[in-house]
Structure 1
Amino acid sequence: MPIMMIRGGDLDLVEYEFKSFLPGEITKTLGFEKNAYRLHPKKGKVFVKAPARIHLSVLDMNRFAPNHAGGGGIGFAIQCYCTAEVECTRQGLVIDYSRADIIENFVAVFNKAIGYTGGFKIKATDHEHKHIGLGSTSTVMIAVATALNEAVGSPLTNEQLRQLIGHNYVEETADGTIAFGFETGVGPAASTHGGMAVMGDELVLVYHHPFAEGKNVFIVVPPTDISSAGTKEFDLLMNRARTLDYRDRELKAYLFMMDFIPALERGDLKKIGNVVWEIEFRGSKRAEIEHHSYRIYQYMSMLREAGLEFVGMSSVGPSISIVTEKDRKEIQKILKPIGLEIAIATKVDNKGMTVTCKK
C-alpha cells in the first residue's frame, strides 16, 4: 500500500501508510461487547430505505484521518435512496451487493459487538451516483447497519450504530482488500434523522432540524478530469485542507453557531445560502473546490448571480447542489447558457430512514 505525506503545518510533516486488510480482520467494537444484550432474532425480512446526503463542509480536517473518525461538519438528506434487506439465518453470511467486502467487514464488527452467533442474508442497493459527493458508501452502510440491528431485536441505539460505522468505515483497495477511509458522521446522521445535521467531533450529533421543506433540490455535475477518490482524496484532505482549516476553523464554527443554526430555526433559506457561500471560500472547503480548479467557483458564482438562494459543492465534489423555490424549467433556463445540465432533480428528505418488517 502507498505511503502518503501529511502536512498539518509548516513544521508538521509525517508519513501515513495505508494498511489494507481482509474483511473482519480489524474490528473496533468500542467496548460495546462488554454489555449483555438480549437478542431476539426476527422471522422474516427487515427492509430499510435510507436517504443519501449532501455533505456541505467538514468543520476541521485536523480532527480526523483514515483511522480516526470525526472532524465535525454539516449536511442534509435528499430524496435519493439506498436500501437494505436483512434476514436472520441459522448460520453463514450471504451478501447480494456489488461491494460485498465493506458489508462483510461491518457484519463482523456488529456480530462481535453484540455477541450474535447466527447468520444473515443481506441484499443492498445504492443510488448508483458514485464518487460525485453524494455519499453512497455511508448511506448503504447506515441502511445495512439499521437493518441488521432491527433484525436481531434492536440492541444498539442509532448513536451506537453511527459510532460503529464511523470507527470501522472502510473503502475497497485495488488489490481486493479494504482500508480505513474518512468519516465525519454527517452522512449516517442525516440519513437516519433526515433534514440538516450539524456534527461535532467524535461523530457527535450537535444539532438537527428540518430543512427547506417543499423546496426543490437540483444536483449538477460540472465536467472535471480530476479524481476525488483513493490516494487523490487522501492527499487533498490531509494536506492543503488541513492547513486551511487550521487557519479558518474558528471562523467556520462561529458561522455555524451564530448564523447557520439560527437561520435554520427561522427557515430562512436565503440566509442559510449566504452562510454556505461564505464557507465555500473558507478552510478545507476552499481546498476541495480548488482541487477541481477555479471553474467550479465560476459555475457557482454564475448560479448565485442568477438569483438561486442556495448553491454549494457537496463533499469533495464535483457535484453542486442547488436548493431553491424555482422549478425545473426555470433552472434549465439558467443552466443552459452556462453549459450545465440537471443530473438529479429531487427534494430534501426531512423524515429520514424508514424501517419495514415483513414476515
Structure 2
Amino acid sequence: MVYVRTPARLHFTLIDLNGSLGRVDGGIGVAIDKPNVVVKATLSDHLEVHGPKRNLVESILRRVIDALNIDSGVKVDVMKTIPEHVGLGSKTQLSLAVAKAVSSLFELNYDARHLALITGRGGTSGIGVAAFEKGGFILDGGHSFGKGKDKEKFLPSSASTAPPAPVLVRYSLPDNWLFVVGIPAVEKGAHGAEEVNIFERFCPIPGREVELVCRLILMKILPAVVERDLSSFGEGLTEIQGLGFKKLEVSLQPPLVKELIASMLRWGAAGAGMSSFGPAVFGVVEGKRAAISLLSDVENYLSAVGGECFIARANNVGAQVSKEAVLTIGS
C-alpha cells in the first residue's frame, strides 16, 4: 500500500494575462502545511474508490490507469480532502495525490509534471504542481502564447491542455512566517464555465498593470524572500491585490471578503490578500503570538458572518509519500 499526503497552496496572483510578449500566465504562490489531501492506494481485484468525492476520484483513477497502462485492480481510499472552490487548490492536489499513489504502488517513478499532464492539471498556473513536488514559495514562468504555441487563448487551468508551467524560482520560507487563513461562508470562488467566461471577458489585461506586477515581484517580493524581510514581503503581496488579474479576482468577490482583507491589515498582518479566485483570504505575520492574535480577530469577524479560519506555515518539502500511514508532513 502507498499513502500520499499533500500540502494546500495559496495562489497570490497570475502575472501576465496580456500576452503581448508571446507568453501568458506565470504566477507566484506558496505551499502551506494545511489543509491536506490524504489518499491510500492498495492492490485490489478491481477498481475501487472509497471516501469523499468518489465520482471525481474514480474519473482521475481511470485516467491514470489508462495512461500508465496498468492492468491490475487498484483500491483508492480518500482519507482527507481540501475544501473545494475556495482558493486552496483542492483539485490539483487530489489529482496528483491519486496519480502519485497509484504510480508509486506499481513502482513507476513519474515526477509531478508528468502526473499533472496525465491528470490535466497545471495548464494555467504552475503553482499547485510545484507545491506538490517540492513545496515552498514558487514563481512559475507561464506558457508560450500564440498560434501553434502552448496556449492560443486565455484559459484557466481547468480548461487548458497546456503542460505545467516551468518553475523559475523556488525558495523555502522561514518557519516563523505564519499565514492566518480565513474562508468566509460566501458563494464559492469562480470555477468551471464561469471561470472560463471570466478569462474570455476580461483578458487581455492592460500591459501597464502587468508591468507593475512584474516590478513588484522582481524588485520587492523576491528580494524580501531572500533577505527574510517580512515587512517588504507583506507590502508587496498587499499591493498586488490592486493590480492586474488579481484586482479583477478581488473585484468579483462580495464586500465582506474585501473587508476581511482590509481588516487583517488593520489587525496587524504584514500583508494580506485573497488566494486565487477566493473566497479564502490570508494574512501573513511573524511568530506564533502574532498569528494567534490575528486568528482571534478573524474568528470574531467570521462568527458574525460564518466561515472557518486556521493558522498555516509554509510547507517547504511538498507531498509526502510513504508505505506507512502518513501522520505528519514536514514544513
For the superposition of Structure 1 and Structure 2, which TM-score range results when normalised by the shorter chain? Answer: 0.7 to 0.9
Corresponding position: 1:207 with 2:159:
no
Q: How does 1:138-149 map to 2 (within 5 A)?
A: 138-149=92-103
Which residue does the alignment assign to 1:187? Answer: 128
Measured at CA, do residues 233 and 189 of structure 1 come closer, stay the same or move farther in structure 2, by a change above 3 Å?
A: same
Corresponding position: 1:85 with 2:26:
no
Partner deviation per Cα, 1:186-236 (whole Å, 9 max, x = no partner)? 112113212211111242111111124123321112454575233333323
Match of 1:98 among 47, 52, 59: 52
Q: How does 1:222-237 map to 2 (within 5 A)?
A: 222=184, 224-225=186-187, 228-237=190-199
Corresponding position: 1:303 with 2:257:
no
Post-superposition offset of 1:48: 0.7
Partner deviation per Cα, 1:266-321 (whole Å, 9 max, x = no partner)? 12121111111121111110111000145533432232233311211011011111
Post-superposition offset of 1:260: 2.0
Partner deviation per Cα, 1:108-147 (whole Å, 9 max, x = no partner)? 4433433322221111234352221112111111211211
Which residue does the alignment assign to 2:4? Answer: 48
Match of 1:345 among 308, 311, 314: 311
Which residue does the alignment assign to 2:209? Answer: 248
Letter in 1 for 2:125: T
Letter in 2 for 1:145: A
> Equivalents in 1 of 2:79, 2:201: separation in Å?
34
> Equivalents in 2 of 1:106, 1:222: separation in Å?
29
Corresponding position: 1:157 with 2:111:
yes
Which residue does the alignment assign to 2:151? Answer: none
Q: Which runs of 5+ in 1 are unaligned?
A: 1-44, 64-69, 170-180
Specify the structure having the higher radius of gyration (Cα): 1
- The TM-score normalised by the length of structure 2 is 0.78
Letter in 2 for 1:133: G
Post-superposition offset of 1:46: 0.4
Aligned residues: 294
| Secondary structure of 2:33's aligned partner | strand
Which residue does the alignment assign to 2:293? Answer: 329
Which residue does the alignment assign to 2:14? Answer: 58
Measured at CA, do residues 250 and 329 of structure 1 come closer, stay the same or move farther in structure 2, by a change above 3 Å?
A: closer
Letter in 2 for 1:344: F
Measured at CA, do residues 231 and 126 of structure 1 come closer, stay the same or move farther in structure 2, by a change above 3 Å?
A: farther
Which residue does the alignment assign to 1:277? Answer: 238
Aligned residues: percent identity? 23
Instruction: Give the conservation status (yes or no) of the 8 Å contact 1:304–1:310.
Output: yes
Corresponding position: 1:356 with 2:322:
yes
Partner deviation per Cα, 1:49-91 (whole Å, 9 max, x = no partner)? 111111111123467xxxxxx72211111121111111234x5
> Equivalents in 2 of 1:221, 1:358: separation in Å?
32
- The TM-score normalised by the length of structure 1 is 0.72
Instruction: Give the conservation status (yes or no) of the 8 Å contact 1:52–1:136.
Output: yes
> Equivalents in 2 of 1:256, 1:163: separation in Å?
28
Measured at CA, do residues 246 and 109 of structure 1 come closer, stay the same or move farther in structure 2, by a change above 3 Å?
A: farther
Which residue does the alignment assign to 2:250? Answer: 289
318-327 vs 287-296, which moves further: 287-296
Corresponding position: 1:114 with 2:68:
yes
Instruction: Give the conservation status (yes or no) of the 8 Å contact 1:220–1:344.
Output: yes
Match of 1:216 among 164, 168, 178: 178
Match of 1:123 among 74, 77, 94: 77
Which residue does the alignment assign to 1:32? Answer: none
Post-superposition offset of 1:247: 4.7
> Equivalents in 1 of 2:277, 2:210: separation in Å?
18
Measured at CA, do residues 163 and 334 of structure 1 come closer, stay the same or move farther in structure 2, by a change above 3 Å?
A: closer
| Secondary structure of 1:296's aligned partner | helix
Partner deviation per Cα, 1:240-269 (whole Å, 9 max, x = no partner)? 2x2336552233233223322222111212
**C-alpha RMSD of matched pairs (Å):** 2.8
Measured at CA, do residues 273 and 88 of structure 1 come closer, stay the same or move farther in structure 2, by a change above 3 Å?
A: same
| Secondary structure of 2:317's aligned partner | coil
Post-superposition offset of 1:183: 4.5
101-110 vs 190-199, which moves further: 101-110
